[in-house]
Amino acid sequence: MDSRFNLFENEIAARFAKRFAGAALVIHDSPLPKSTQELVSLRASQINGCGHCIDMHVKEAAAAGESAVRLHLVAAWRESTVFTEAEQAALALAEEGTRLADAHQGVSDETWARVRKHYDDDQLAALVAQVALINAANRLAVIVHQKGGSYEAGMFAAALDA
């Protein structure tokens, strides 16, 4: 199925996208490690079934030097040995923050404690914002059927400069 609606050709959607990208830039420029930002975005996008965002975050992570093994294992991070304790905590937060309807308690106290152990306040603020922002991006792309496969690393950054 083709995309239902081009979010970049509508004036209101384009204005929203510009502000949305500005929020993403705040997170991008934060002290949260870039690899963590990409892994969290990839995991939430996998859960939400967002092909466009999966495509984007796999390619951006690979272009930044992330290994194929780690990218392939994000969906099964609990059953792998390639993620640090800090990354595991961030991935757990991403999952619980994404599956709000599935887990009526939201983010568990245990997961929150694990995240607090590894991230300072600025990193934590960026991590929480990243989980919220990627979930919003997933919903936008899924609603309009924005498909994955055509993204090229650097496209998002180029759009910010435009």
pLDDT confidence of residue 154: 81
Task: Output the pLDDT for position 1.
Answer: 55
Predicted local distance difference test score (pLDDT) of residue 149: 84
**Which one-letter DSSP state was computed for residue 78?**
G
Pick the CATH number of 11-161 from 1.20.1290.10, 1.20.1250.10, 1.20.59.10, 1.10.3720.10: 1.20.1290.10
149 and 56 Cβ atoms separated by less than 8 Å: no
Contact 91, 79 (CB under 8 A): no
The reported pTM is: 0.92
Give the C-alpha separation, 89 to 72, whole Å. Answer: 18
For residue 114, the model assigns a pLDDT of 98
pLDDT digits (tens, 9 = 90+) for 139-161: 999 998 888 888 888 877 766 66
Only one residue has tokens 């991006």, namely 137
**Domain range list for the chain:** 11-161
Which parts of the chain have pLDDT scores under 50?
A: none
Q: What is the pLDDT of residue 61?
A: 96
Token pair belonging to 7: 């979010």
Say what the pLDDT of residue 82 is.
98
Q: Count CA atoms closer than 13 A to 66's CA, side-chain side.
A: 26
Residue 105 is predicted with a pLDDT of 80
pLDDT attached to residue 130: 98
Gap between the Cα atoms of 91 and 62, Å rounded: 18
Cα separation, 29 vs 82, whole angstroms: 25
d(CA 42, CA 135): 11
- The answer to whether 127 and 36 are in contact (CB under 8 A) is yes
